[in-house]
Amino acid sequence: MGLKGQSEQAESEPAAGKPPLRVGMVGYAFMGAAHSQGWRTVGRVFDLPHRPVLAVVAGRDGAAVRGAAARLGWADTETDWRALIARDDVDLIDICTPGDSHAEIAVAALEAGKHVLCEKPLANSVEEARAMTEAAERARARGQVAMVGFNYRRLPATALARRMVAEGRLGTLRHVRVSYLQDWLVDPEFPLTWRLRKDAAGSGALGDLGAHIVDLAQYLVGEAITGVSAVTETFVRQRPLPAGAAAGLSGVGGRGLGEVTVDDAALFTARFGSGALASFEATRFASGRKNALRIELNGSHGSLAFDLERLNELSYHDHTEPGVSAGFRRILVTEPDHPYLAAWWPPGHGLGYEHSFVHQARDLVLAIAAGTAPEPSFADGLQVQCVLAAVEESAAKNSLYTPVPV
């Protein structure tokens, strides 16, 4: 079936009577595939006021973007994001590109009257994030919405954790511990991709992983971080240039190596507005850890923990119970009255990583239909960017002190 046939088939499905929300996506790699899964699935699972349509996907390589469109379910393609934004058959621009292009695309899309979904981190700098937020505020007055894609908010377990904290189940929060560990850079022969270049990625593990855990911690706590103290490190400072490295990269010493200009790991402590303390760890050098995100919140009445490798569960301790029977217990987050789950499977049948993107699409469609501001907003993304910038500034100024011998 050709691309036109796919579009015609979509129009004939039961949701065809609802007004369409025509999505144009920029980028089609890892995040583009994940977002496509969300847009393809959301209208088949949730009863929505609008019918999401995978209208157009854009990418610079014509053959590659056409292949991606056929594979991911998009009806048409463009090779220039500006042409995508100019189309009158697109209502929403979904940005799944490296961070160095987020601001330009998002501001142009908002000024053209489109709704915008932008992947995290919102931008590569506070200045870019602020410009995006100001554009979103102007667009809001015209009825447009803008949302940043922190998908880990959309897991049923993390949404339930937020509900439990808001209900006071943990009492006064005192200490938050967060880590996000990966190992895909341990091999020093891994090539110098865009994620290892500050001009394209903004930062390394800090922006890639740290943005997620800063947002998730603030979301669960319900407060903003007000201060940080940090260290960062780059363990492998030169890497082999990738194939076709003529794109502005130059070798070092004639050996075909390029400079890594971002951090490999970031560690920082933080304080929330209420005075609660937190510790954060983000690294792409934890051997054996593939995508290990864990957060624990400790309060006066109890503790709560979430582990992405067990993403349908929460670990909860009620400290008000008698010590003789108290302890951590497992909450299986699959009940129909848990967040998002009424639309899915019977209790005990867990969801996966990809479902967070379905829920992200659902929440955005509902916000557009209701005319309400979605969360996390661009202002929320800017706040995360300010925390990341403070971490970088602290790390640049930090000094290690040698203990005085006893």
Mean per-residue pLDDT of the chain: 93
pLDDT digits (tens, 9 = 90+) for 64-120: 999 999 999 999 999 999 999 999 999 999 999 999 999 999 999 999 999 999 999
Angle between helices 102-111 and 126-140 (to 10 degrees): 10
361 located within any domain: no
- The sign of the dihedral angle between the CA atoms of 369, 370, 376, 379 is positive
In order, the DSSP letters of 328-369 are EEEEE---TTSTTGGGSPSTT----TTHHHHHHHHHHHHHHH
Task: State yes or no: pLDDT of 233 exceeds 70.
Answer: yes
Q: 204 with 268, same domain?
A: yes
pLDDT above 70 as % of the chain: 93
Asked if 202 and 251 touch (Cβ cutoff 8 Å), the reply is: no
Confidence of residue 191 (pLDDT cuts 50, 70, 90): very high
Alpha helices by DSSP H, 61-185 = 62-72, 81-86, 102-111, 126-140, 156-166
* SS3 category, 201: helix
Q: 113 with 89, same domain?
A: yes
Amino acid 398: pLDDT: 84
Asked if 228 and 393 touch (Cβ cutoff 8 Å), the reply is: no
Q: 105 with 190, same domain?
A: no
Peptide bond into 346 cis (omega under 30): no
Between the two ends of the chain, the Cα-to-Cα distance in Å is 77
143 located within any domain: yes
Predicted TM-score (pTM) of the model is 0.92
In angstroms, the CA 240 to CA 192 distance is: 6
Q: 199 with 135, same domain?
A: no
Which domain covers residue 220, as residue numbers?
156-310+312-351+378-395
Q: How many independent structural domains does the chain possess?
A: 2
**19: which 2 tokens?**
């007004």
Q: 121 with 187, same domain?
A: no
In angstroms, the CA 310 to CA 325 distance is: 25
pLDDT digits (tens, 9 = 90+) for 18-66: 999 999 999 999 999 999 999 999 999 999 999 999 999 999 999 999 9
Question: What's the CATH code of the domain at 105?
Answer: 3.40.50.720
Confidence of residue 405 (pLDDT cuts 50, 70, 90): confident
115 located within any domain: yes
221 located within any domain: yes
